A and B are shown apart, each in its own frame.
Chain A
Amino acid sequence: MKKSVFLGAATIAGLAAGAAVAGTVDDVKARGTLNCGVTTGLVGFAAPDANGEWKGFDVSLCRAVAAAVLGDANAVEFVPTTGKTRFTALASGEIDMLARNTTWTFSRDVDLKFEFTGINYYDGQGFLAPKALGVSSAKELDGATVCVQTGTTTELNLADFFRSNNISYEPVPVETNAEGQQQYLAGACDVYTTDASGLAATRATFESPGDHVILPEIISKEPLGPLVRHGDHEWGDVVRWTLNALIAAEELGVTSANLEDMSGNPEANPEVKRLLGTEGTLGEMLGLDADWAARAIAADGNYGEIFAKNIGEETPIGLARGLNGQWTDGGLLYAPPFR
């Protein structure tokens, strides 16, 4: 009750504040920091490291946006949000953008008045089960107890999956990934369900990851992406094109290592020149300066670098690029042209 009343009050207060505020770009510039909503801790996507510094796939996107707008990749205030608090935090203006593996759905986009600015990870919902259970398919889960994060699309997909397969289950609602992990390991539930990437990240933190399997069924489409408040299109454009710049940079072969050479090279591909601001006025159109994209790429690297560093096959999480490869490699990443 207390928490929800607080949330309600926060919504009310925030809506009052939101209506008075003009442009988020100006706000962020005036404040000097970007308030970025992330998870409360999902290793690989967003979690503080041993030094208390936030690291991860979603974190890097926040840093890229901060670098583009403010010129400083560290000028980010990370606000941990749960599945339940994230939308209120965004609607109320507590955060400027939400980069918290949030699924793009019709009702969130249209009814909740948010704007998804792209997709940074194509995911799907899966199940994690102990090997000892001897389960090889999610369809064998009749009667199982399932831990699920409450307030997520996962919860609805789960109900749909079991209903359409005509099997039963008992849900155990948990608030955060950490709580889900703890309940699962304590045996309060037989299987844990969330996005397959999240399952891989969670399993990587187990003492013996080999004792647990991710079941082959992917029961939903989960396009995850950053989102902003509806109506502030200038800010939406900044976040959208920062993400596109990271994706395009990988496609065009611009990395954080060769950024200097590329921008100094008069022979470079014209699109690279436009992207890095040595030609054309794209930055000006966006209300930023010319080398905004160069700074965004310099922050943590291009999309491919960010992926490899945080969740790629070299990391303990070990996710393959799969659907998240460039369109030229058979993936779904396809940044619109920079012109």
Chain B
Amino acid sequence: MSTMTDPPKADFRLSMLINDTRYRSLTFQVIAAVAIALSIWYLGNNLIQNLRAAGLNISYSFLGDPAGYDINQRLIEYDSQSSHARAAIVGILNTLLVAVLACITATFFGVFAGVLRLSNNWLVSKLMAIYVEIFRNIPVLIWILIIFFIVTAAMPAPRAYLGEQAERDLVLGLFAFTNRGIYVPSPFFTNGFGAEGGSAVNWLVVIAVLILSHFATRFVNKNAQIKQEQTGNRPNTLLLNGLIWLVPLVAVLFILGLSWDFPDPLANRFNLRGGLQIGAPLIALWFALSIYTGAFIAENVRAGIQAINKGQTEAAAALGLRQGRIMNLVILPQALRVIIPPLISQYLNITKNSSLAIAVGYADITATLGGITLNQTGRAIECVLLMMLFYLTASLLISTGMNIYNASVKLKER
């Protein structure tokens, strides 16, 4: 018979913090943490003291003052008498606009080039390789400038379209391509909510209708799926879905009184009036960001596809699936879980790289809050802190959203 004895209970001694491997790493971590906290405190304190000595205090009251400057691209109502805070919001919206547009087109370019780079067609795959290597190896700022110069040099000045005897007519009577931007007809509502039907509520109504249509078609498809599983025959839903999308949309647009505002070459001697102007800076920035980041996404897509075992393609082919369906049904769904995580970083890069906008005079948050407001008020620290806060928030929101999507497509482990 053996007796169990407790291991001898060692008394804790202070020297064990250094000599005992169980505690040593903890000791060093605590020391490091204290050192880091102290240096941050020292730097922060130093900053505050020096600011006070220089007679500058951190204050955000300037945000309420009239900005005094004008901005060329405004998604919301803004004039020079609006506050600095509103100018910052105009900038934020412009940043978000170009970031969202560029994310969508960059994904399109990336997937397109990434898939085609693996094509068996020698010419196509080499062309895509050249695209990727050229665009991702030249800094994005240079692309922005080059594209802006091309846009401004290749297109005529607006004056060419102006007056009774214009050098050029509007393309189809609707569009004008000038070195200051592209003019297109813009929709508006004659019968909608708000003063003269100009409220943003109208667009929300339209979007709400589209979302409802989306859910209605999902419901229809689900029923068709159930029926297919029960009877083996899938009812044709194409017509029904088409009606669900079209009829409510047409109805709501008709009720709101949709109308179009066309660019008018006669109203002003300097520029076209009316219509929607897509400014040259926006075009340059949008296109440069999408084509540059698209090259990176193409490589992610290629890596994702090549990560899928060749046996998958062969097995799918053995089942009799055709080339396109193999890609859509077998390869891409599996490749997505490799593609999505680096794609998140690319979306974050687009958002942050959009701060290069000032190079072409695009009024993003860096140009309004971090540029003009900072200069006119001299509140450098406050403005920079606010910008950091904005970019941090925007980036974290994007990565949260994308992580949720990633969780839904990643390999389900059971």
Contact = CB atoms under 8 A, between A and B. Distances in A.
Interface of A: 1-2, 4-5, 7-8, 11-12, 15-16, 18-19, 83-84, 87-88, 91, 107-108, 111-113, 133, 141-145, 150-152, 155-156, 158-160, 162-163, 169-175, 183, 186-188, 190, 230
A150 B70 contact: no
Contact of B355 (A2, A7, A171): A2
Contacts of A188: 152, 179-180, 280
B380 to A, nearest CB: 5
A12 B80 contact: no
Interface string B34-59: 00000000000011011101111000
A8 B370 CA distance: 10
Contacts of B159: 187
Contacts of B280: 188
A196 to B, nearest CB: 21
A84 B371 contact: yes
Contact of B72 (A7, A143, A172, A183): A172
A190 B384 contact: no
Contacts of A87: 375, 378
Nearest to B54: A15
Given A143-B267, A155-B376, A171-B71, 13 more contacts: A1-B355, A4-B370, A4-B384, A7-B374, A8-B380, A142-B268, A142-B270, A143-B270, A143-B273, A150-B367, A151-B375, A173-B363, A187-B157
Given A143-B268, A173-B361, A186-B152, A8 B375 contact: no
Nearest to B367: A173
Output the residue of A7, A91, A108, A188 with the most chain B CB within 10 A: A188
Interface string B138-180: 0000000000000011000101000000000000000000011
Nearest to B281: A172
Nearest to A113: B55
B378 A112 contact: yes
B69 interface: yes
21 contacts: A1-B355, A4-B370, A7-B374, A7-B380, A15-B47, A88-B380, A91-B54, A111-B378, A113-B55, A113-B56, A142-B270, A143-B271, A143-B273, A155-B69, A156-B69, A156-B376, A159-B69, A159-B80, A171-B69, A187-B179, A188-B280
A159 B68 contact: yes
A114 to B, nearest CB: 9
Report whether over half of chain B's contact residues are helix, strand or loop; otherwise say mixed: helix
A141 B358 CA distance: 25
Given A8-B381, A172-B72, A150 B372 contact: yes
Contacts of B372: 150-151, 155, 173
A113 B54 contact: yes
Interface in B55-89: 55-56, 68-72, 79-81
Given A143-B271, A155-B69, A19 B375 contact: no
A152 B153 CA distance: 28
B70 A159 contact: yes
B300 interface: no
A143 B56 CA distance: 40
Interface in B338-390: 352, 355, 358, 361, 363, 366-367, 370-372, 374-378, 380-381, 383-385, 387-388
Contacts of A143: 267-271, 273
Q: Give 4 closest A-B pairs by Cβ, nearest first.
A: A151-B375, A8-B384, A1-B355, A159-B80
Output the residue of A87, A142, A144, A187 with the most chain B CB within 10 A: A187
A108 to B, nearest CB: 8
A160 B68 CA distance: 8
Contacts of B377: 111
A145 B271 contact: yes
Interface string B257-290: 0000000000111110100000010000000000
A183 B284 CA distance: 15
Nearest to A83: B375
A309 to B, nearest CB: 32
B268 A174 contact: no
B391 interface: yes
A91 B271 CA distance: 41
Given A1-B387, A112-B378, A186 B270 contact: no
Contacts of A173: 72, 358, 361, 363, 367, 371-372
B381 A12 contact: yes
A116 to B, nearest CB: 15
A143 B264 CA distance: 13
Contacts of B270: 133, 141-145, 190
B180 A16 contact: no
Given A7-B384, A172-B361, A186 B56 contact: no
A186 B360 CA distance: 13
A258 B71 CA distance: 54
A145 B180 contact: yes
A152 B372 CA distance: 8
B68 A156 contact: yes
B80 A163 contact: yes
Given A113-B56, A159-B80, A163-B80, A186 B355 contact: no
A162 B268 CA distance: 16
Contact of B371 (A19, A112, A150): A150
Nearest to A151: B375
B46 A16 contact: yes
Contacts of B370: 1, 4
A4 B268 contact: no
Contact of A12 (B47, B70, B152): B47
Given A4-B384, A155-B69, A19 B54 contact: yes
Contacts of A145: 180, 270-271
Contacts of A18: 50, 54
A4 B271 contact: no
Output the residue of A1, A84, A143, A175 with the most chain B CB within 10 A: A1
Contacts of A162: 70
Contact of B50 (A19, A108, A152, A187): A19
Contacts of B388: 5
B231 to A, nearest CB: 59
Output the residue of B50, B79, B81, B159 with the most chain A CB within 10 A: B50
Interface string B173-205: 000000110000000000000000000000000
